[in-house]
């Protein structure tokens, strides 16, 4: 058991506190996919501006990752997560009060700062409060909690918009995030903080990050995060909604139902991954061997999505949710390739790559769509052409993963 192991109702309570925070983090990450039509109509935003606005979350989230690793080691999971969530609540309030693009962007960025530690703090806390045998199942259940957050901002938010508007949605979110912060502060044990080692000198901490970023093993699979995983995240959390409306011609309610189905299938896929991945690894199909096939499947499905514009084509997005799910296994795979002392920094360094790239992907996709529209393409063909263009860098990453052989620093062995 871990140093401060919990059991029974206390174990459920610890998980519930962290899960509530991650539920809100994922919901706030995804909500713009539903409210995008309202923002476009009220503020006259271009697709590029909408992409920049939504991706402010990813930019600020990414900027927090390196200091987050230090704060978690110095202050503990409870204090770090609870305090940061106060910033997220402030961001929701700023977004709700915004009178233009600048206010929306600042609010969205503050939300990204505030929820930046929702998952990482949970994983750190679980290492202390739960046995090693429960870590994988806890991580899977956290992904389920996050996907439930994404589900909560589809049909429920669409139903609430005519009543409270998008501003009211963010006022409710501010209250819920504040409640999650209070639950963490008052509901979690304090023993993890008493176990923390004295602060390490800043030079030593940053030297550890330097070792991570100097690793070819880190960059080989980091390319998957930079291009493929971050692209899927940008689609899931923003562009799927406009795609259903502008490409497939669905109305707002039908688009919300399609988003609900997409995220529901994603949740089931996370559950399935938690069950299947250990079995595949026992049969010699570890993450390193599996990822090239995953990239091929993602590219194939996205090409089909780009080419098929009939209203019934929304089901292709359900298939994308299934085939893209194993991409999330790359982060723990990479992190476990480092010595234990560097695992936390490997996690947050990988997060930095993923979320900074998601910022670029989400913004740049809107820029490319607008460029095709300026060239005379209608909305459906502009979106389709942009998604086809996205396949070129993904195929380049596939080649890198297949032909670039690297060694894991911890084991000093080649990983296929």
Going by pLDDT thresholds of 50, 70 and 90, the confidence category of residue 80 is very high
CB atoms within 10 A of CB 396: 11
Q: Dump pLDDT digits (tens) for 328-364.
A: 888 878 877 887 667 667 888 898 999 899 989 989 9
Q: Dump pLDDT digits (tens) for 182-221.
A: 999 999 988 887 777 665 555 666 777 888 899 999 999 9
Distances (CA, A) of 51 to 26, 59, 279, 367: 17, 12, 39, 8
Count of residues making up the chain: 416
Average pLDDT, the chain: 89
Query: Which has the closest alpha carbon to 263: 216, 317, 311?
Result: 317
Query: Which has the closest alpha carbon to 316: 223, 235, 226?
Result: 235
Least confident of 2-6, 34-38, 144-148, 236-240: 2-6
Give the pair of three-digit tokens for residue 187: 């509901």
Angle between helices 252-282 and 315-324 (to 10 degrees): 30
Instruction: Reply yes or no on whether the pLDDT at 145 is more than 50.
Output: yes
Stated pTM of the model: 0.81
Q: Dump pLDDT digits (tens) for 356-398.
A: 999 899 899 999 999 999 999 999 999 999 999 999 999 999 9
More confident residue, 238 or 167: 167
Domains of the chain, with CATH numbers?
A: 8-415 (1.20.1250.20)
Query: Which has the closest alpha carbon to 336: 286, 302, 373?
Result: 286
Distance of CA 198 to the CA centre of its chain: 31
Q: What pLDDT shows up at residue 416?
A: 40
Burial (CB < 10 A; 0-12, 13-18, 19+), residue 191, is middle
Q: What pLDDT shows up at residue 138?
A: 81
CA dist., res. 385 & res. 352, Å (int) = 29
């Amino acid at each position: 058991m871990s140093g401060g192991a919990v059991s029974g109702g206390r174990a459920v309570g610890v998980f519930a506190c962290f899960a509530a925070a991650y539920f809100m983090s994922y919901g706030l990450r995804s909500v713009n996919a539903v409210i995008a039509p309202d923002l476009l109509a009220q503020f006259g935003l271009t697709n590029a501006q909408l992409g920049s606005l939504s991706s402010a979350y990813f930019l600020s989230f990414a900027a927090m990752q390196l200091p987050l690793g230090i704060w978690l080691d110095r202050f503990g999971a409870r204090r770090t997560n609870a305090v940061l969530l106060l910033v997220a609540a402030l961001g929701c309030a700023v977004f709700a009060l915004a009178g233009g693009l600048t206010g929306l962007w600042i609010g969205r960025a503050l939300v990204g700062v505030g929820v930046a530690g929702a998952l990482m703090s949970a994983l750190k806390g679980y290492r202390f409060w739960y046995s090693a045998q429960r870590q994988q199942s806890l991580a899977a259940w956290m992904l389920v909690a996050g996907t439930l957050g994404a589900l909560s901002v589809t049909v429920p938010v669409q139903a609430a918009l005519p009543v409270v508007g998008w501003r009211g949605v963010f006022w409710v979110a501010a209250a819920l995030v504040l409640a999650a912060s209070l639950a963490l502060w008052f509901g979690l044990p304090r023993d993890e903080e008493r176990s923390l080692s004295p602060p390490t000198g800043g030079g030593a901490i940053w030297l550890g990050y330097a070792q991570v970023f100097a690793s070819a093993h880190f960059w080989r699979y980091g390319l998957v995060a930079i291009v493929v995983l971050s692209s899927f995240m940008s689609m899931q959390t923003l562009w799927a909604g406009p795609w259903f409306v502008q490409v497939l011609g669905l109305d707002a309610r039908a688009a919300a139902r399609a988003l609900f189905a997409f995220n529901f299938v994603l949740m089931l896929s996370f559950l399935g991954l938690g069950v299947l991945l250990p079995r595949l690894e026992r049969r010699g199909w570890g993450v390193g061997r599996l990822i090239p096939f995953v990239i091929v499947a993602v590219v194939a499905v996205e090409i089909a999505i780009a080419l098929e514009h009939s209203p019934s084509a929304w089901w292709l997005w359900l298939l994308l949710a299934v085939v893209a799910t194993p991409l999330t296994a790359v982060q723990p795979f990479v992190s476990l390739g480092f010595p234990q002392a560097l695992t936390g920094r490997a996690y947050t360094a990988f997060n930095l790559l993923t979320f900074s790239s998601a910022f670029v992907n989400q913004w740049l996709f809107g820029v490319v769509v607008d460029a095709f529209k300026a060239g005379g393409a209608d909305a459906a063909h502009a979106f389709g052409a942009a998604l086809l263009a996205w396949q070129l860098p993904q195929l380049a990453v596939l080649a890198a993963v297949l032909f670039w052989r690297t060694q894991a620093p911890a084991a000093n062995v080649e990983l296929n």
